[in-house]
Structure 1
Amino acid sequence: MGRWNADVEAAAATRERKIDEAHERLADAVEAMAADGGFRRAIEFAARFRTRSFNNCVLIAVQHAEAFEAGRVPTPQPTYVAGYRQWQRLGRQVTKGQSGYVILAPLTARYATDNPAVGPWRLLTRGEQPAPGEVVRARLKGTKPAYVWDVSQTEGDPIPEPPMPQLLEGAAPAGLWDGLASQVVDDGFALLSVPTAAGIGGANGQTDFLARTVTVRGDLDDAARVKTLAHELGHVRLHAPDAADAQAHRGVIEVEAETIALMIGAAHGMDTSTFSVPYVTSWASTVRDKSVFDVVTSTAERARKAAVAVLDRLETRQIGDGEPPGLGAARGDPPRTREAPRSARRAASSRSTAVTR
């Protein structure tokens, strides 16, 4: 029993050390984003691996870059990532000597109560069964280290490559305008058009929560119009004046909306250089009582989740999401990073009922 307890304690210590190392690596990467404008690159990466949390996308990107610099992988960007058993299910095996990329996976525990409305909830130990009449729910307890490998670190059956969207300059992806417009209307907003920017104060688009309208200028090319519509749909989804999750700072609000638009565009093969995501230092450091790390990671994760919700409802041809074709839904991603206090976000969002860009 003593040896068993020692082994359990050693395993727990190793797990905690790996979690700490992952958090340190993540913090260093976010700090680097603030220094050199890497937030855009991180979002472009997350658009291609959008089933993963933003934090895990950053961890994968950093570790793959290190593996490339060390000569362990042939390309600077990963193509598909999956877990060890997942690759085996696809007829592939991790190549001997290839180290996996550490990500942070959710660690859950089971809780039971005979009164789910008010509790209290008690923790069930491993193998423990609830008492008769008790309700059991799984709740997040923390995170644990998990590992994924890029396809270039594996060998075996070939991976079928789906067709990639091809766009001409200034063209919009087929069906994207109609799909976004449908979601704007379904959210209770009328979609309007004005001939020029003069009709909406010089902006490309405007969301008016009081009038329940989204307006896009009509003299833009198709790609710019669909990009603007995606931006305004981002405002609709996240920035209603009375929304509990509305962000506190106008700069962050605009970054969230543009990040959503960038991810939607990138998922359809659009040129992301036309999207105007400002440097981290111009917006994250202006939020009071929050570290740059917390602002950046929570902003990116909120935007990623909103973009994925939009993309899931579109019947358009999209690029892959970073998973090997045929694998199914990704596993091993933790919930979103902590966000700013809701009271602070409500206070800022109530200052205006219209958002323009």
Structure 2
Amino acid sequence: MKKDEVKKLIEQGVRELNDALAAGDSQQLKEFMAVMARFPRYSFNNCLLIVMQKPDAQMVQGFHAWKKAGRWVKKGEKGIGIVAPMVYRNKEEKASEDGEERMLRGFKVVHVYDVSQTEGKEMPEFARVTGDAGHYIDAVERVIRAKGIELLYEEIASGADGVSRKGSIVIDPKLEGAERFAVLTHELAHEMLHWDKVKRLLTTKTIRETEAEAVAHVVCRAVGLDSTTHSADYIRLYSGDLDVLAGSLDGIQKAAAQILELLGAAEAVKEEAAA
């Protein structure tokens, strides 16, 4: 797959998402966000490329990475084209701490393969969460407090499940399980995305609420939880132009990836303390 083909595929994917939203069809965006949940560290464009080429992908790696894992790509399988940065050593600039200064010189198309396209050594079975959110509630609470955000559990006069107040999150104490985790993540997304003055001027409440719910949905899916607090409306976003839609989904993906990374770090610290 060439660069111009990748560009056209991305443009086509964004256009199809936009058309689906305008028509009130949430299925395509659901599929896209499911891919975002499975690959939280991939960029918006790469998630879009994966969903356009193989929406059922579960685990992707390059040819040589699979070979190191004791598996090989089946004969005749077509790779999934994604974009990767081209980084070169800069001999003219001052060397970095590791002895080399590296410069980003653009992007190139590389191909990855889903585990279903490979064969060989059996893959290990990864533990999956079945809906008990207690473990993750503790982790997200620690992430919130570690970011210097006050976390309170008390009834909210407006009747809302949760509220973000710039440096403070309030959660209805009656919420339990996956519902509590989803609302905690939703409000954390607000804290991360929506208290910048410029951001608030350039967005509406509808956009901000939708982005926060989308982040929570992706994070819940990524950890294996079924969040019941999100209505189907979260998926419809808003009828903006292609650039606005793409920008919103890019922010959703980055926020979800950051939260998942922080959750992983919080879990690692807890395990070390218990050792």
TM-score (norm 1): 0.64
| Higher relative contact order (Cα pairs below 8 Å, separated by 6+ residues) | 1
Asked whether the 8 Å contact 1:180–1:230 carries over to 2, the reply is yes
Aligned residue number for residue 27 of structure 1: 11
Bigger Cα Rg:
1
Asked whether the 8 Å contact 2:214–2:234 carries over to 1, the reply is no
Residue by residue over 1:253-299, the C-alpha shift from the partner in whole angstroms, topping out at 9 and shown as x without a partner, is 222211221122112211256424647765251xxxxx42x323332
2:255 and 2:14 mapped to 1: Cα distance? Answer: 21
Letter in 2 for 1:95: K
Aligned residue number for residue 307 of structure 1: 256
Residue by residue over 1:146-167, the C-alpha shift from the partner in whole angstroms, topping out at 9 and shown as x without a partner, is 0011112112111111121112
Assess, with a 3 A threshold, how the Cα gap between structure 1 residues 272 and 26 changes in structure 2: closer, same or farther: farther
Asked whether the 8 Å contact 2:74–2:117 carries over to 1, the reply is yes
Asked whether the 8 Å contact 1:258–1:276 carries over to 2, the reply is no
2:102 and 2:164 mapped to 1: Cα distance? Answer: 39
2:33 and 2:218 mapped to 1: Cα distance? Answer: 7
The equivalent position to 1:51 in structure 2, one of 41, 51, 58, is 41
Between Structure 1 and Structure 2, the one with more helix by share is: 2
Aligned residue number for residue 123 of structure 2: 159
1:200 and 1:237 mapped to 2: Cα distance? Answer: 24
TM-score (norm 2): 0.82
Asked whether the 8 Å contact 1:102–1:148 carries over to 2, the reply is yes
Residue by residue over 1:276-325, the C-alpha shift from the partner in whole angstroms, topping out at 9 and shown as x without a partner, is 4647765251xxxxx42x3233322222222222222325999xxxxxxx
Assess, with a 3 A threshold, how the Cα gap between structure 1 residues 266 and 99 changes in structure 2: closer, same or farther: same
In structure 2, list runs of 5 or more residues that go unmatched: 268-275
Is residue 141 of structure 1 aligned with residue 105 of structure 2? yes
Is residue 191 of structure 1 aligned with residue 145 of structure 2? no
1:64 and 1:247 mapped to 2: Cα distance? Answer: 38
Asked whether the 8 Å contact 2:143–2:266 carries over to 1, the reply is no
Alignment of 1:190-229 (within 5 A): 190-195=150-155, 199-209=156-166, 212-229=167-184
2:119 and 2:61 mapped to 1: Cα distance? Answer: 13
1:282 and 1:152 mapped to 2: Cα distance? Answer: 32
Assess, with a 3 A threshold, how the Cα gap between structure 1 residues 149 and 177 changes in structure 2: closer, same or farther: same
Residue by residue over 1:80-100, the C-alpha shift from the partner in whole angstroms, topping out at 9 and shown as x without a partner, is 211011111111111111111
Partner SS, residue 54 of structure 2: helix
Assess, with a 3 A threshold, how the Cα gap between structure 1 residues 226 and 200 changes in structure 2: closer, same or farther: farther
May I ask how many residue pairs the two structures share in their alignment?
A: 257
